[in-house]
Amino acid sequence: MSTLPTWMFLAPFLGALLVGIAGWSVRGLVRPVALGAMALTCGLSVAALLGTLGGEVLVTHMGGWPAPLGIVWSVDRLGAFMSVVVAFVSGVALVGSRATVRAELEGRETGFYTCALLLVSGLLGMTATADLFNFFVHLEVASLSAYALVAAGGRGAPQAAMRYLIIGSLGASLYLLGVGFLYADMGSLNMRDVAQLLPETDGRLASLGAAFMVVGLAVKMGLFPLHGWMPSAYGRAPFASGAMMAPLVTKVAAYGLVRMLFWVFGYERLQGGLLLEVLCWAGAAAMVVGAGLAFFQRDLLRLLAYSSISQVGLIALGVGLGNVSARTGAVLHIAGDGLMKGVLFLVAGALFVRHGIRKVDDLGKLRGREPLLSATVVVAGLSLVGIPPLVGFFGKWYVLVGALEAGRTEFAALIVIASLGTVAYVFRVLEKLYFAPRTDALPPAKPGGAMAMASAAVLAVAVVGLGLASSVVVQSFLMPAMEVP
Amino acid sequence: MMQFAAERGPYYVFVVLMVLGVYLLLTHRSLLKNFVGLYLMQLGIVVFFISIAVRVGGSIPVMLGEGHDVAVHNPVPHALMVTAIVVSVATLGVAIAILLRIQKQQGSIDEDVDEAEDPEGGS
Amino acid sequence: MTVGVLLPVAIPFVAAVVTLIASERYARLITYLAAGSTGLATAWIVPQVVGGVAPSVRLLPLVPGLDLALRVDGLGMTFGMLAAGLWVITSVYCAGYAEATHLANQKRFFASFAGSVGAAIGVAFSGNLLTFLLFYETLTLCTYPLVAHNENRESIASGRRYLLYALSGGLAVTVATAWSWSLAGTLDFTEGGFLAGKASEPVLTVLFALFLGGCGVKAAIMPVHAWLPAAMVAPTPVSALLHAVAVVKAGVFGCLRVLGFVFGPEALEGSMAPMVLAALCGTTIVVGSVLAVAQDHIKRRLAYSTIVHLSYIVLGGALMTPLSMTGSIVHMVNHGLAKITLFFCAGSIYAAAHVDKVSELGGLGRRMPWTFGAMTVASLGLMGVPGLCGFVGKLLLGRGALEAGQWVYLAIMLGGSVFTAAYLLPILKNAYFEGPATAKSGEAPVAMVAPIVAVAVLVVVFGAVPAVMGVQHALAAGVAAGVFGGNP
């Protein structure tokens, strides 16, 4: 038995505690403590990755209680992959948030770093647990932290946070109800146990439970048409919060969907059924609608929110299609979009701190002033459009191949349409950055944002790197990870 | 009658609570009312879980001494629901904190002004 | 020999990055060095390919089972040498043009130019469809800043239109590539194609439409041609090398690759698809020729001429006979040489006399003897006058049409030649035979005239020098033989 899974969740959790203490006594220690906790967390997740490389699974029985009585934590290749993505992206985002925290959250750093670390601990708990109810608990820990992080913003932020809270809690409640149905039928909350017991039931309660769970997770993912909380929440949240939340919260919920559908319920049982079909169409609709609406947004963060809705749609489509290629694409895109959105939110924050820019149209005033930031936007934007060899292309490629292998050419066509929409909004931004007419001079940049720029650059390099390495990653890690024992 | 209440009653309570909650949630007037609706739904789910813990002719799941072959009610859902209630209360706390912030910002928590401030393309 | 294949692709990209980082003063120097070394590196491989060896290198896996792979066969060598060789000459011309017109944003200009050439050579040297797709999209991205370069409203609008067309085409190719991968399990370009028997007739037809539609955008086949005339707002060196040679030839190259190395004669046997393609090309030739005659703006007239000649090349591929394909490959080069000359001349006319309309060319012929001399040579070549480079290609294409029994297309080709005269000769007539010069000027600066003369000489060399023509023909015929397996 390994305790690594629990330590991955505990490190940021205890870190949050220490941050609280530090905030109460020595203000200046808050950020270093938080970053230290994140560094530790990253190290632990890498250790988990290395520990599962060969296919081993890290298992913890909480309190020593054997399954299925006790709560079991289990980190396999997929879980380790997700942990590394979460830890890495949130760590870099936290590092890059120094200037935005100072700009928008002056005096409330303790609260911010506490909530941020709690968010990470919740997300990592979700990736490491093998118990359905435990998953709910971590889901809510992460969500509550997210609601608080959003509410800390300026005008309109608390309202957006309240809306997020209500819709999000509704989703979590539905998930819980679904778990209830499964428990009523099978008497177990352990994922593997449920998977083994399912064939022996008559399936009706299980189907109902599955439906509720999927809807609940879809709300947390922001899958169309349950995405209503996202544009305002991302649009109004402080930049520092956005950088932490936006790339990750929906993606870990998507991971939850993958885990439930393939490991608990089993693809063979769901194949050809209504649930996956609805998931495919919801995903396809999200892709197209998200990209289309993104084009018309005037606020930069809202544009990014709709872009996320679109990318989540692609992930959902990949999950719904379910064959090996499509689900590999979905998971790869979870990582890819996490990186891409991380870059874009960090850049948005840096632009706000240095130039006070929040609107897409104002980007035109930047002509030639921010070469590094513009370059990272180019990388992330082209990856969103799907230009090889960036990572965004490969996520799309695998889902596309999956759709064609399954004979669902209509989804291939919708991917193309969504890609055209993505071209539109990405190049709208790029055009403003590089080809807008030179207008009156912008006042010189306010100092700051160096950490944000460096962090964005690191994530942009990762976008390129993961893209180039994607074949190796997919072949040696992701595809084996997606095989359900 | 008593048997009906014992057997099916909890499910109807659950349904009533859920419907009430959804109704409040959908008649979108004030954020606080929406949240109350949500809370009711969560209570409904608690009732649901507890109702499935019942065993016919069961007794309280406290073991005294040796050799008990008596049926007991399942304690696990109760434990789960304690956790769920904690989560609900925590959510309530966060919600109240947010509502206080809304009040501080705009003086009242009456309408959801998000739409008014946020026309189609973002303010 | 793997490095030898990699260098021509890598050097331009490295040069692009260096140009962006270094100071603007060095942009031209870096370009000269890069162009020179790329030209040499490309020429270095020619003997091997002529000898029948196809050097290749696998770079890195993109997807399990599919690598980023380069493989230089006759077709790739031809296009690669065209792009690399003409870059050398164009870099001198660019320098002269930039000087004469006080070009702004030179770092972005030269870096994008280098990137575009690198992408074009990458397209040429691709060994499989995914590699091709990668470089094809990169080509679109590198050329976009050049189209929108002048940053006025017209340029930005043209840039948007270009992106829309080109990326849509790229998406069509992406879907078709993914589909082929799932059907055939391989994407390696194979002589005679690899899709035969891998899918039903309707599926193959849809794939055909996707591939040829996608590549057809860059090849400016009607009705997806509209981006090309609009792109003429770009600075002339861009129009010359990229939109007369690199980008459009990448589209045509893609069509030929798909026709011969993805589908092949076997897969297309009995299919109506090539005939539909041929019909579209034929229509493009006819309509394009008429439109060319109607244009007063010199570069737009040349743009429509390009559209016409590109359809000649794709038509040769669509007719699916060894002779017509040989003709396509030969004409791909020869048209490029002649057209780049014409565009260079248009640029020097603008730089020296600030004239961009045919009607305003009066009497310039005597004031700019070198420019118009070259223009005459290139025009005659494009019309198909024997002894100049256009003749051989057109001859082969015509014979190919005969071989395929398609008299209609032979007639269209001949008609096209007549029209070529109809829209090129008036330029010369105005320049030489109209009254005294309405615009006063002298000859263009040496930096522009020297390259013009150089390419004009090439027009002659590729039409009259047996050694060169022999090599060119051998390469092209070798490709055709490979595709058709020696079957007539």
Q: What residues in chain A have their Cβ under 8 A from chain B's Cβ atoms?
A: 133, 136-137, 140, 144, 147-148, 151, 155-156, 158-163, 165-166, 169-170, 172-173, 176-177, 180, 183-184, 187, 189, 232, 235, 296-299, 302, 359
Provide the number of structural domains found in chain A. 1
Residues of chain A with Cβ-Cβ distance to B14 below 8 Å are none
Domain of residue A174: give its range.
4-482
Residues of chain A with Cβ-Cβ distance to B41 below 8 Å are 170, 173
User: Which stretches within C354-389 are classed as H helix?
Assistant: 364-367, 369-383
pLDDT tens for residues C236-260? 888 888 777 789 999 999 999 999 8
Judge if C180 and C286 occupy the same domain: no
Query: What pLDDT score was predicted for residue B6?
Result: 64
Judge if C261 and C187 occupy the same domain: yes
Judge if C309 and C366 occupy the same domain: yes
Which element (helix H / strand E) includes C70?
strand C66-71
CB pairs under 8 A between A and B: 103
Residues of chain A with Cβ-Cβ distance to C234 below 8 Å are none
Judge if C247 and C203 occupy the same domain: yes
For residue C227, the distance in angstroms to the closest alpha carbon of chain A comes to 17
Q: Please tell me if residue A479 touches chain C, with a CB cutoff of 8 Å.
A: yes
CB C252 within 8 A of CB C329: no
Asked if C171 lies within 8 A of A419 by C-beta distance, the reply is yes
Block residue for tokens 């001399």: C373
Where is pLDDT greater, at B60 or A465? A465
Mean pLDDT of C356-385: 84
Q: Determine the residue of chain A that is closest to C137 in CA distance.
A: A387
Q: Please tell me if residue B46 touches chain A, with a CB cutoff of 8 Å.
A: no
Interface test mutation site (partner C, options A372, A378, A397, max chain C beta carbons within 10 A): A397
pLDDT tens for residues C11-56? 999 999 998 888 888 888 888 899 999 999 888 888 888 887 888 8
- The beta-carbon neighbor of C182 closest among A404, A431, A474 is A404
Angle between helices C390-403 and C322-353 (to 10 degrees): 150
Residues of chain A with Cβ-Cβ distance to C62 below 8 Å are 388-389, 394, 470-471
Asked if C134 lies within 8 A of A388 by C-beta distance, the reply is yes
Judge if C339 and C468 occupy the same domain: yes
Which element (helix H / strand E) includes A235?
helix A230-236
- Look at residues C248, C271, C294 and tell me which one is the last residue of a structural domain: C271
Residues of chain B with Cβ-Cβ distance to A159 below 8 Å are 31, 102, 112-114
Q: Determine the residue of chain A that is closest to B49 in CA distance.
A: A180
Q: Please tell me if residue A480 touches chain C, with a CB cutoff of 8 Å.
A: no
The pLDDT tens digits along chain A (485 residues) read: 678 888 989 999 999 999 988 888 887 888 899 999 999 999 999 999 998 888 788 888 888 887 777 888 989 889 999 999 999 999 999 999 888 888 888 888 889 999 999 999 999 999 999 999 999 999 999 999 999 999 998 888 998 999 899 999 999 999 999 999 999 888 889 888 888 888 888 778 888 899 999 999 999 999 989 898 999 899 999 999 999 999 999 999 999 999 999 988 888 888 878 889 999 999 999 999 999 999 999 999 999 999 999 999 999 999 999 888 999 999 999 999 999 999 999 999 999 988 888 888 888 888 777 888 889 999 999 999 999 889 999 999 999 999 999 888 899 999 999 999 999 999 999 988 888 776 666 777 777 778 888 899 999 999 999 998 888 888 888 888 887 76
- The beta-carbon neighbor of A137 closest among B31, B83, B123 is B83
pLDDT tens for residues C165-174? 999 999 999 9
Q: Please tell me if residue C211 touches chain A, with a CB cutoff of 8 Å.
A: no
Q: Please tell me if residue C182 touches chain A, with a CB cutoff of 8 Å.
A: yes
Judge if C290 and C246 occupy the same domain: no
Q: Whole-number mean pLDDT of chain C?
A: 87
Judge if C182 and C121 occupy the same domain: yes
> Is pLDDT at C440 greater than 70 in this prediction?
no
Please name the CATH architecture into which domain B2-57+72-106 falls. Orthogonal Bundle (1.10)
Asked if A400 lies within 8 A of C174 by C-beta distance, the reply is yes
CB A257 within 8 A of CB A218: yes
Q: Determine the residue of chain A that is closest to B104 in CA distance.
A: A158
Residues of chain B with Cβ-Cβ distance to A168 below 8 Å are none
Q: Please tell me if residue C40 touches chain A, with a CB cutoff of 8 Å.
A: no
Judge if C312 and C208 occupy the same domain: no
Which element (helix H / strand E) includes C440?
none
d(CA C483, CA C273): 18
- B7's CB contacts (< 8 A; 6+ apart) are none
CB A257 within 8 A of CB A384: no
**Residue C144 CB neighbours (<10 A):** 23
CB A330 within 8 A of CB A258: yes
CB A355 within 8 A of CB A446: yes
Q: How would residue C462 be classed by pLDDT, with cut points 50, 70 and 90?
A: confident
Tell me whether residue A25 is exposed, middle or buried, using C-beta atoms within 10 angstroms of its C-beta: 0 to 12, 13 to 18, 19 or more.
Answer: exposed
C and B adjacent (3 or more CB pairs under 8 angstroms): no
Q: Determine the residue of chain C that is closest to A378 in CA distance.
A: C141
CB A141 within 8 A of CB A129: no
Q: Which two tokens stand for residue A430?
A: 């790029």
Domain of residue C125: give its range.
1-271
SS3 A73: strand
d(CA C12, CA C18): 10
Q: Determine the residue of chain A that is closest to B120 in CA distance.
A: A297
Q: How far is CA B35 from the centre of its chain?
A: 11
- The beta-carbon neighbor of A474 closest among C60, C64, C151 is C64
Tell me which residue of A193, A200, A252, A175 sits closest to A221, measured CA to CA. A252
Provide the number of structural domains found in chain C. 2
Judge if C170 and C225 occupy the same domain: yes
Q: Please tell me if residue B45 touches chain A, with a CB cutoff of 8 Å.
A: yes
SS3 B62: coil
For residue A405, the distance in angstroms to the closest alpha carbon of chain C comes to 6
Q: Map out the domains of chain B as residue ranges.
A: 2-57+72-106
Judge if C248 and C301 occupy the same domain: no
Q: Please tell me if residue C68 touches chain A, with a CB cutoff of 8 Å.
A: yes
